Chain A
Amino acid sequence: EPEVTQTPSHQVTQMGQEVILRCVPISNHLYFYWYRQILGQKVEFLVSFYNNEISEKSEIFDDQFSVERPDGSNFTLKIRSTKLEDSAMYFCASSAGSSPDTQYFGPGTRLTVL
């Protein structure tokens, strides 16, 4: 069964550093997403991406964040200058279509900002 994969599983960085989180969505999916889950809190939507552009983003997704699909398989989330409060589990997801299609999630990348 196809799966969403994410690398790395755990990333530790110093405050102010740039990080890139990587995801390989399910191959025939067209919509891609990033969500985050701060420890002990709910899963929060960050951004959706379709047809090589951002289609929706939350207020969390400020200028420090960017997304890219650099090739036909990868989907990345970049945080330009990390803050302590960016520490969270980041989930990538993909879906074949928009609502009401199911979003399938990857295993997550745990980002720790020191």
Chain B
Amino acid sequence: AQSVAQPEDQVNVAEGNPLTVKCTYSVSGNPYLFWYVQYPNRGLQFLLKYITGDNLVKGSYGFEAEFNKSQTSFHLKKPSALVSDSALYFCASYTGFQKLVFGTGTRLLVSP
């Protein structure tokens, strides 16, 4: 079955430090990969996506993600974390033409 995995339930990082939120995928064909962020009582906000081309994708709020085909990974990164980055992060992938499949989510906690 096509799936996306987020191996960490929570990531803790100090403000100003780099952060990484991990995602691995198992999809057939070309992977179309997305990161979304969910703040409390809010919907899912699109951060960035990988379709093709450059393996380093830049997105909103200073986030970027690195696509690695050999490791089937699409980790989300940010060079310097902010307290306001604390939220729930979801990795997702298209399976077929219209359906997104999501990972279980990773809670990012940035401490002052």
B-binding residues in A (CB < 8 A): 4, 6, 31, 33, 35, 41-45, 48, 50, 55-56, 58, 91, 93, 98-100, 102-108
Contacts and interface: CB of A to CB of B under 8 A. Distances in A.
Nearest to B94: A99
A56 B97 contact: yes
Interface string B25-44: 00000001010100001111
B20 interface: no
B87 interface: no
Contacts of A4: 43
B102 A99 contact: no
Contacts of A106: 43
Given A42-B103, A42-B105, A91-B44, A105 B36 contact: yes
Contacts of B100: 33, 35, 43, 45, 103
B96 to A, nearest CB: 7
A52 to B, nearest CB: 15
Given A42-B102, A42-B104, A45-B101, A102 B46 contact: yes
A111 B74 CA distance: 32
Contacts of A33: 98, 100
B67 interface: no
A56 B43 contact: no
23 contacts: A35-B100, A42-B102, A43-B90, A43-B92, A43-B100, A43-B102, A44-B102, A45-B101, A56-B96, A56-B97, A58-B99, A91-B43, A98-B98, A99-B32, A99-B94, A100-B32, A102-B34, A102-B49, A103-B46, A105-B43, A105-B44, A105-B46, A108-B43
B51 interface: yes
Nearest to A9: B41
Interface string B43-55: 1111001010000
